[in-house]
Amino acid sequence: MSSTPSPATSEVDIDRASTVAAPDDAVFVAWATAALAALHLTGVNVAVRLVDEGEARQLNRDYRGKDYAPNVLSFPLDDDFPLPPGEPRPLGDIVLCLPVVQAEAAEYGKTFEQRLAHLLIHGLLHLAGHSHDEEPQRLAMEALETAIMADLGLPDPYLSDLGALAPQCHHGLLQRISHALFGEPIDRDWLMRHLKDAEAAAVLDAGTLRMIEGVLTIGERQVRDIMVPRSQLVVMHRDDDLAALVRVVEANGHSRYPVIGDDRDEVVGIVLAKDLLAYLEPGRDSQFNLRDVLRPAVFVPESKRLNVLLREFRQTRNHMAIVVDEYGGVAGLVTIEDVLEQIVGEIEDEYDFDEDETDIEPADDGSALVHGLTPIEDFNAHFGVSFSDEEFDTVGGLLAQQFGHLPEVGERIEYQGFEFEVTAADGRRIEQLRVRRAAVVAAEPDDG
């Protein structure tokens, strides 16, 4: 045990009873001193005990009647007793359970020291009489904690960290949520029932409930469940010139593209559309070399869980990964947007096709954009034709049958006097087509 007086004549005693390595005593003293200064408390004594789960569980059971190891416990002391002159007034005891704090740091995407500092400050505020029982009290307490952390040069402990929460939705986290909300152990189904009750009572809205459910289930899903399949990949070719690469970008509107060699199993890198912009300036196209803008590709197995992938995306700052099967062949592609959509729902941008738009949208060049789900009857009425709708109801279904497979973006086919080009598709259906009347070539007169 060590005892270090603060510059304000307060004392912070550190008692170590944990097997987990923790920062030096002086670090804890600095954190506590900053909190005491923010609270304008001088001449006090605070005891901080660092323990393992067994002792934390026992204390929680003895003093709070709850049978689990919490991250922090605060025990304020009654100051209505005489003290010798010059003795610091005991403020109370704080117990930090280091194994729990360590696990939470990993869950929340924080360092061990950041999480320790936050919980020590949190415990000190409780000793000083702060509470989070009511919403205004909770907000005031969180604001004070954030301010003290900032004074110490540490990040906002309540800053939203969705990617860090999602990866670790395991039983331990659920149990802590359970204790915080309901005071008893639960499983995920039990928690979801209560959350749905909260939605029914208008405590949560439907969107929030969907996001919570997404967070709770993301760790159970694998990359293969959400990847863009190999057949639907929009790729660039290693031997393409600048003009060809730009045409791919213009036709698809993505920000990143895999670059392949001889076939789709040979992914040689990734090109960012923005990296091509500099070469579009007059005179710079001759300087273009694909190797100068080619970025390394990241490869992940199709069995990787989404929570792990999301954490890796955040750590490496990558937004795209090539998915490979057990034999090393390319199975598809996955982006950070694909993963986040499992939590927050569909993320649309200006290039996504809006299913609420008009089914048939004429263009100035005489072509038309046609939604894949446009009824054949409506197509016939618009173009003055009589395609059969006995076997298929929609234009997309009819054209998929004519292609003989689910076509990729950019594939074209001629059918009954029209040229159809696929402009949007996923692994299940044709979403949008550009339709032009096929060119009619007039017979040249015979000069002979």
Chain segment 85-100, per-residue pLDDT in tens: 667 888 999 999 999 9
- CA angle, 441 then 443 then 446, to 5°: 155
Domain end (from 159, 175, 207)? 159
When divided into structural domains, the chain yields a total of: 4
Neighbours of 12 (CB within 10 A): 29
Q: Which residue has the higher pLDDT, 95 or 353?
A: 95
Q: Which residue has the higher pLDDT, 231 or 21?
A: 21
Q: Which residues pair with 305 in a beta bridge?
A: 222
Domain end (from 220, 246, 264)? 220
> What DSSP string runs through 211-255?
HHHHHHHGGG-BGGGTPEEGGG---EETT--HHHHHHHHHHH--S
Q: What average pLDDT score do residues 387-392 get?
A: 80
Structural domain contains residue 354: no
Q: Is residue 356 over pLDDT 60?
A: no
Angstrom distance (rounded) from CA 410 to CA 397: 17
The enclosing H or E element of 272 equals strand 267-272
- Confidence at residue 25, expressed as pLDDT on a 0 to 100 scale: 93
Angstrom distance (rounded) from CA 445 to CA 448: 9
Angstrom distance (rounded) from CA 215 to CA 188: 11
Helix, strand or coil, per DSSP, at residue 270:
strand
* 100 & 124 share domain: yes
- Confidence at residue 56, expressed as pLDDT on a 0 to 100 scale: 92
Angstrom distance (rounded) from CA 423 to CA 409: 5
- Confidence at residue 180, expressed as pLDDT on a 0 to 100 scale: 47
Model confidence over 394-413: pLDDT tens digits?
A: 888 888 888 877 788 888 99
For strands 430-437 and 368-371, give the pairing.
antiparallel
Task: List the one residue out of 238, 178, 188, 230 whose CA is nearest residue 213.
Answer: 188
- Confidence at residue 50, expressed as pLDDT on a 0 to 100 scale: 96
Model confidence over 11-63: pLDDT tens digits?
A: 999 999 999 999 999 999 999 998 898 888 888 899 999 999 999 999 988 88
Model confidence over 239-271: pLDDT tens digits?
A: 888 988 888 888 777 888 999 998 888 899 999
Angstrom distance (rounded) from CA 160 to CA 82: 46
Structural domain contains residue 416: yes
Q: What average pLDDT score do residues 153-179 get?
A: 53
Contact predicate 194/182, CB 8 Å: yes
Backbone angles phi, psi at 107, to 5 degrees: -65, -40
Average pLDDT, the chain: 80
* 76 & 215 share domain: no
The CATH number covering residue 263 comes to 3.10.580.10
Gyration radius of the chain over CA positions: 31
Neighbours of 353 (CB within 10 A): 15
Angstrom distance (rounded) from CA 199 to CA 174: 19
Task: List the one residue out of 181, 216, 175 whose CA is nearest residue 197.
Answer: 181
The CATH number covering residue 69 comes to 3.40.390.30
Q: Is residue 156 over pLDDT 50?
A: yes
Domain end (from 317, 344, 371)? 344
* 213 & 236 share domain: no
How many Å separate Cα 441 from the centre of its chain? 54
Neighbours of 379 (CB within 10 A): 22
- Confidence at residue 22, expressed as pLDDT on a 0 to 100 scale: 93
Structural domain contains residue 254: yes
Neighbours of 310 (CB within 10 A): 22
Structural domain contains residue 353: no
Backbone angles phi, psi at 417, to 5 degrees: 85, 5
Neighbours of 248 (CB within 10 A): 20
Give the model's confidence band at 286: pLDDT under 50 very low, under 70 low, under 90 confident, else very high: confident
The enclosing H or E element of 16 equals strand 11-17
Q: Would the CA dihedral through 180, 181, 182, 188 be positive or negative?
A: negative
pTM for the whole structure:
0.42
Question: What does DSSP assign to residue 89?
Answer: E
Q: Which residue has the higher pLDDT, 326 or 446?
A: 326
* 100 & 145 share domain: yes
User: Percent helix, strand and coil across the chain, each rounded to 5?
Assistant: 40, 20, 40
* 128 & 231 share domain: no
Q: Domain containing 199: what range?
A: 166-220
Q: Which residues pair with 381 in a beta bridge?
A: none
- Confidence at residue 24, expressed as pLDDT on a 0 to 100 scale: 93
- Confidence at residue 8, expressed as pLDDT on a 0 to 100 scale: 45
Q: Is residue 174 over pLDDT 70?
A: no
* 328 & 385 share domain: no
